Structure 1
Amino acid sequence: MTVPEDALRTASTRSGLNRRTLLKTIGVGAVAMAGIPALAACTGGGGGAAGGSQAVTFGSGSSDAVPQAAYKAVTDAFTKKAGVEVRTNVVPHNDFQNKINTYLQGSPDDTFTWFSGYRMQYYADKGLLAPIDDVWEKVGGNYSEAMKKASTGLDGKMYFIPNYNYPWGFFYRKSLWAEKGYEVPTTFDELLTLSKKMQGDGLIPIEFADKDGWPAMGTFDYINMRLNGYQFHMDLTAHKESWDQKKVSDVFDTWKAMLPYQNPNALGMTWQDSAKNIGDKKSGMYLLGSFLTQQYTDQAIADDIDFFPFPEIAMEGRDAVEAPIDGLLLTKKGGENQSARDFMAYVGTPEGQDVYQSVDTANIAAAKGADTSSYSPLTKKMADVIANAKSISQFFDRDALPAMANNVMIPALQTFIKDGTVDVKNLEAQAASLYAAQ
């Protein structure tokens, strides 16, 4: 993202995950001019609606079939309940994510899908978003303190309405593992031993895809947190820690042990391609977000999917979980439309999130009181992992400066995947320059 930063997937996944491809032309303050028409807001913004209320324009990067249908269900339900028309502008996920800077500085919709944490705070700090403290006064009781913190800007005001979050972990087909006698690894050494066995069985042990650039960040984040701890992850992405140090080099050195077991064609594959390999039992396991399951429209395959958290390595066991939060933001222009605030408030209720969840079952509703009775055993397991986590990260491209994630980290990780090399001194030099410019 989902999803704004993730350009929802296809007939089944949420943009959430493609969402991460940050735009390579965005830079820290640069305005990417390409594709402005694609991100233009829906016609008008102030047209009349049923009951005389002002219509709402809604920009969505959730372009894959499932999340797109889920948001349509939500907008339809809100229109029926409030008598307010919602005009949705759906843009391919990666386009939405990559051109968000131009979008927000042009003629944006009133409200739009995006992410919590730094990726939200960055644009709020640039004055491109409208605060929604009044909305939070209505729905704040539906959220935990962790959700509130992730929705707060650097100025202490509220900007974000969480809709759902989803964990990253290793996904696999239960029937394949039962057939081969595989057991869930709890340590990194056990993961490598299992990978070697899978390779001997003729499988791609660890499915992997990084054509879009962002998926590899999940592997980096987990190894970093398992080696150095959650706080180091947060300090590194905020550049309170240097990239040119042994702790960072150790992350890549540890990752090298996994490279022989990852799909060798990763740089030419999308995550959807890799999801198919898992479904076809060509691969043993796949580290990705739960939006992966949206790809399995065959119920027999969907019911055969299970997952386990990234194994422990050195610190904090498996207590830190990568579980990004997706939801809605209000543009500066949208701040003048009360109907847009009402729509965001609706999304922040258990009722609104139940409507979304009824269509897109791959994610975990963010609001307290949301109906979990229909959760599948897999969804319940994922929800428990998130609920029991001591620390929750938002994914590298959400916790870090946008230009650092897109312009520096993506090419560095793709080079590492290609030949196993990385220049941490160069990473530090670029990080120092980018963060100093803020």
Structure 2
Amino acid sequence: MIMRPAQLPTSAITRRSLLLGGAGLGGSFLLSGCIGGGSTPSTSSSGSASGGASTGVALTLQSDLSDPKPKAALESVVKGYTNNPVTLNTVATEQFRAQLSTYLTSANPPDVITWLAGSVARDYASKGLLLDVSDMWTGDGACAKFSPALKALSTGDDGKQIFVPTSYYWWSIFYRKSAFEEWGVKPVTSWDDFMGMLDTLKGKGVYPLTCGTGSTAWMASGWFDYLDLRINGAQFHRELLAGKHSFDSAEVRKVMDTYATLIPYFDPKGRSYSVQEAALPLANKKAAMYLIGAFVTTYFPSNMQDDIDFFSVPTIDPSIPSAEEAPTDGFFASSKTKNPAATKDFLSYLASPVQQQAYIQGSGSSNLPTSSEVDTSKFSPLVQHGIKLLSETKEITQFFNRDSSDALQTTADTALTKFLDHPDQVASILKDWQTAAQQVWNQ
């Protein structure tokens, strides 16, 4: 449902729905005309890698897609797979998360499991619990045409691919085109030009930036993630969140010093806004820009949809490869599966363009397909812009807690919201952050 800004409720979006893309772009916005020529996507086993795969092998898919529409969409996709019988078990999200480790370490684990790209998948892979699906990423494999950034995101610490991504969405700096025209500003690509634009907007009596860090404190991590990506790069960022670097380090201090330069440009009410409420000043042209996921479009009425656009967080150090936050969903498989060939055949089916398209349409998902062969010709210009952004970036990261853990996210919430209120205390904040983070890593 698209909310009108004047009616934005404070509880309409949860942390879970944000990080898993549940708020989304809305079925009518993202999926209108999604299937070329108005045709209905096939749910046959088209796209499966049946060559050499065993048939008649019973498989199990464990899913946390328990909301009615995603659940029904996945059921429909699974029903269309005819090479082998598949039992689909759907478990409520929180129960699923609590039991995930048990699934993988049991004597008879599910063959395929829904999950997210990021640190948790890599951690399970490092323990030998996930099936090596590297052959799906080469030759004529189902993932061979996915972008290099998606391949890197799906790769374990040993260089093997252990994840099959099937959908994702993007973060960027969103704005209203008509507002930029009124204020005489344009999207920029360099940090110096960005800071100059912030000064220009502030001089016009506009809050250059909005950010809802009140009841949704994790929103403060958006700017932290991007500044770290632009200053230290994606590899450092992942290593930092994995405990290989200290939050109380010169590299992170540089990130925070840069973050501090943005604080005077934020709408001060943002410290009391939720993620959704912070869209109100953007809609009313009281604020100019919002660093957020593409789901922000659902916060605006339909007559504003064509007025929304975005640009990437500008480059700070040109020597650092480009990187974008793109929370990514998909599947991994148990290394204990009794028939790897049949399991990979099913994964190939799930990853095929036909089934990605069928699931997106059936679920009303906000996410974009990972396959470049999905027909996107009827997607909105904004979504096409998002696809182009993600296809051209060198690296894809997730969001703070996806690249680390929910427990580490809590340490970030505490540190970053305190920093927004007291940037002069950055030294002690970073020291405390590292202490809290170390406790999480030592658990």
Tell me whether 1:373 sits opposite 2:386 in the alignment.
no
Are 1:291 and 1:363, in contact at CA under 8 Å, matched by a contact in 2? no
* Residue 65 of structure 2: aligned partner: 60
* Residue 141 of structure 1: aligned partner: 144
Give the alignment partner of residue 176 of structure 1, picking from 176, 179, 184: 179
Give the alignment partner of residue 392 of structure 1, picking from 391, 396, 402: 396
Superposition pairs for residues 217-236 of structure 1, below 5 Å?
A: 217-236=221-240
* Residue 102 of structure 2: aligned partner: 105
Q: TM-score, normalised by structure 2?
A: 0.72
How far did residue 252 of structure 1 move? Answer: 1.1
Structure number with greater Rg is: 2
The separation in 1 between residues aligned to 2:410 and 2:16, in whole angstroms, is 21
C-alpha change, 1:172 and 1:126, in structure 2 (3 Å) is same
Counterpart of 2:385 in structure 1: which amino acid?
A: K
How far did residue 200 of structure 1 move? Answer: 4.9
Q: Secondary structure at the match of 1:236?
A: helix
C-alpha change, 1:176 and 1:407, in structure 2 (3 Å) is closer
Tell me whether 1:292 sits opposite 2:296 in the alignment.
yes
CA RMSD of superposed structures (Å): 4.0
Are 1:205 and 1:285, in contact at CA under 8 Å, matched by a contact in 2? yes
* Residue 120 of structure 1: aligned partner: 121
Superposition pairs for residues 194-343 of structure 1, below 5 Å?
A: 194-210=197-213, 211-296=215-300, 298-316=301-319, 319-330=322-333
C-alpha change, 1:288 and 1:5, in structure 2 (3 Å) is closer
The separation in 2 between residues aligned to 1:331 and 1:75, in whole angstroms, is 21
Are 2:325 and 2:398, in contact at CA under 8 Å, matched by a contact in 1? yes
Are 1:166 and 1:363, in contact at CA under 8 Å, matched by a contact in 2? yes
> Structure 1: where are the runs of 5+ without partners?
15-50
* Residue 427 of structure 1: aligned partner: 433
C-alpha change, 1:5 and 1:171, in structure 2 (3 Å) is closer
Q: Deviations over 1:196-239 (max 9, x none)?
A: 44445454421212333332222112112222333432332333
Are 2:136 and 2:144, in contact at CA under 8 Å, matched by a contact in 1? no
Greater relative CO (CA pairs within 8 A, separation 6+) = 2
Are 1:58 and 1:86, in contact at CA under 8 Å, matched by a contact in 2? no
How far did residue 285 of structure 1 move? Answer: 1.1
Counterpart of 2:384 in structure 1: which amino acid?
A: K
Are 2:415 and 2:430, in contact at CA under 8 Å, matched by a contact in 1? no
The separation in 1 between residues aligned to 2:243 and 2:24, in whole angstroms, is 38
Superposition pairs for residues 349-360 of structure 1, below 5 Å?
A: 349-358=352-361, 360=364
Q: Secondary structure at the match of 1:139?
A: coil
Counterpart of 1:6 in structure 2: which amino acid?
A: L
How far did residue 171 of structure 1 move? Answer: 0.6
* Residue 4 of structure 2: aligned partner: none
* Residue 405 of structure 1: aligned partner: 408
* Residue 48 of structure 2: aligned partner: none
Are 2:217 and 2:417, in contact at CA under 8 Å, matched by a contact in 1? yes
Superposition pairs for residues 77-92 of structure 1, below 5 Å?
A: 77-82=77-82, 89=90, 91=92
How far did residue 417 of structure 1 move? Answer: 2.2
Q: Which stretch of structure 1 is more off in the superposition, 426-435 or 368-377?
A: 426-435
The separation in 2 between residues aligned to 1:262 and 1:248, in whole angstroms, is 21
The separation in 1 between residues aligned to 2:175 and 2:337, in whole angstroms, is 42
The separation in 1 between residues aligned to 2:187 and 2:64, in whole angstroms, is 41
Counterpart of 1:288 in structure 2: which amino acid?
A: I
* Residue 151 of structure 1: aligned partner: 154
C-alpha change, 1:342 and 1:293, in structure 2 (3 Å) is farther
* Residue 18 of structure 1: aligned partner: none
* Residue 44 of structure 1: aligned partner: none
